Amino acid sequence: MADEISREQMHAYLDDALSESETARIERLMRDSSEYRTLLIQVREERDRGEHSLGGIWRRERLSCPSRTDLNGFLHGILEANHHTYIEFHLKTIACPTCLANLDDLQEKQA
């Protein structure tokens, strides 16, 4: 349903990893629903106490994120094809804000 917020979406909202339209949708739903405001509080508390689920550890440690060295290799086109394809997916499809910021920084330093 379009008017539901999952725990994963709430985590992405807290990580500022959603599109502007999706962020606005979630904020509108939270304004109108005490249930979603309660969910936000629960998710924040889980994060504060160190959620120990596999997903929580994966998000917290950014295990899917390439290193700056890998991002630099991507930028210079010197990675193996499979690795290049994964980083391209991570940047363009997942749109990881941390990695996009790292890539922007590397591009600025290169210029």
pLDDT interval class at 1 (50, 70, 90): very low
Which pLDDT value is given to residue 50? Answer: 66
CB under 8 A, 24+ apart: contacts of 100-104:
102/68, 102/71, 103/71, 103/74, 103/75
**Range of weakest confidence among 1-5, 8-12, 15-19, 106-110:** 1-5
22-62 pLDDT per residue, tens: 899 999 998 999 999 998 888 888 777 766 677 767 777 77
Q: How far apart are CA 6 and CA 14, in angstroms?
A: 12
Give which of 39, 61, 40 is closest to 50, Cα–Cα: 61
Contact 56, 25 (CB under 8 A): no
pLDDT digits (tens, 9 = 90+) for 63-95: 889 999 999 999 999 999 999 999 999 999 888
